[in-house]
Amino acid sequence: MREKLLRWGLRDRDENVRKAAGKLFRDRWIEDCAGIPEEAPADGEGPPPNFEALQELLERIDVVNSGVENGVALEAMKGFWEGRVDYREAVVFDNLFWDTLSAESVFMARSFNDYCRNEGSNKLEALVEEKMPEVTKLAYYLQRYINVLVEALKRVAQQVPEEDEEEEDTVEQEFIVEQLLHIAHSLDYSDEVGRRKMFALLRQSLSVPDLPEEATKLIVETLRGICASDAAGEREFVSVVLEAVADIHDTIMDEPVDEDVDESFHSARSEVSETESSSKKPKAEMSEEELQDKSIKEIMVNMKCLHIVQCMLQNVGGNLQQNVDLVAMLNNLVVPAVRSHEAPVRERGLLCLGLCSLLDKVILVTPLLFYNFI
């Protein structure tokens, strides 16, 4: 209910209502969480900043759900940091803070970072540079929490459906990783040592098949920000992302591939696979359940590969035909996916094909006629 009240107030068409809602959040509600009486002190000074109360307030507005993109928590915290200079000056992000992150504390750090960097104030820029960790240290913490998330996801995959305590913990860990990635995306990578450390970490993390889609999307966006903005930087970005895609796709290659098979993403090519299977006998008979599990795994892996490619294409602006890696990706992954008999794979393949057509208008006509997509 608090989250709804805050959303309705901060997004009201009346400016007075929006101001009142912001003041309610940053003054009254946080005082309630801190247990501060309504009567003002005799000396006229307000109560000192209480960051435990701030985290409790974020917990009460369900920051895990309201702190996503376009969520009301971001708007509320922007107004909070703007109106509470005392909290802005007193906040401390020390080693203990980063070692014991929760959903509320990491969102507090992310919102502080966003506010200071987006206001265009030299004073705020200096403040955030002073309080936030350098790139190398943030990469260390990001790697740590990504490892925690991956382990939590593995535990959830192995547990019985009735036990949902681990699943709730996984949601929080995923949120923590996402907020750290938002912070990483905004950092200055002029320091080459920090840049290389973060680049290597993101490249490695992108190859993790179990990583959730939102975290994957943020990793791709951060990688693009780390690479240079020129054509050479874009080629480096595309090459690194497609290497990660190939690594993920290799996870479904449980047995050696015949030498005459040279297509990287043949598992998405349903028609070709059916033709080959009719002419070649499998080395070992598999039960119906094993075949079904293998088929599901192939679909999930191909969906993951296509999602990474989709995120990559959304961050590319050069001509497709001038990048051999993009051309190979189109022919070996996107086109087979569009021709797949599996609806989810085909749908995501069409999304990627549409993004490719924005980079090369010829694709709007030629592939549709050549491959008979429709």
pLDDT tens-digit series, residues 259-309: 443 444 444 333 433 434 444 444 457 787 778 888 888 999 999 999 999
| Domain-terminating residue out of 131, 152, 172 | 131
| Domain-terminating residue out of 65, 100, 131 | 131
Mean pLDDT, rounded, of the chain: 85
Q: Both 120 and 206 in a single domain?
A: no
pLDDT in tens, 39-61: 555 555 668 899 999 999 999 99
User: What is the rounded (10 degree) CA torsion for 135, 237, 235, 251?
Assistant: 140
Q: Both 23 and 74 in a single domain?
A: yes
Provide the number of structural domains found in the chain: 3
Instruction: With cut-offs at 50, 70 and 90, classify the pLDDT of residue 158.
Output: confident
Residue 71: inside a domain, yes or no?
Answer: yes
Residue 43: inside a domain, yes or no?
Answer: no
What per-residue confidence (pLDDT) applies to 157?
Answer: 80
Domain of residue 151: give its range. 133-224
Residues ≥6 apart with Cβ < 8 Å to 82: 115
b/e 89-118 (16+ beta carbons within 10 angstroms → b): eebebeeebbeebebbbbbbbbbbbbbbbe
pLDDT at residue 209 is higher than 60: yes
Q: Both 127 and 11 in a single domain?
A: yes
Q: What's the predicted TM-score (pTM) here?
A: 0.86
Instruction: With cut-offs at 50, 70 and 90, classify the pLDDT of residue 256.
Output: very low
Q: Both 13 and 57 in a single domain?
A: yes
Instruction: With cut-offs at 50, 70 and 90, classify the pLDDT of residue 257.
Output: very low
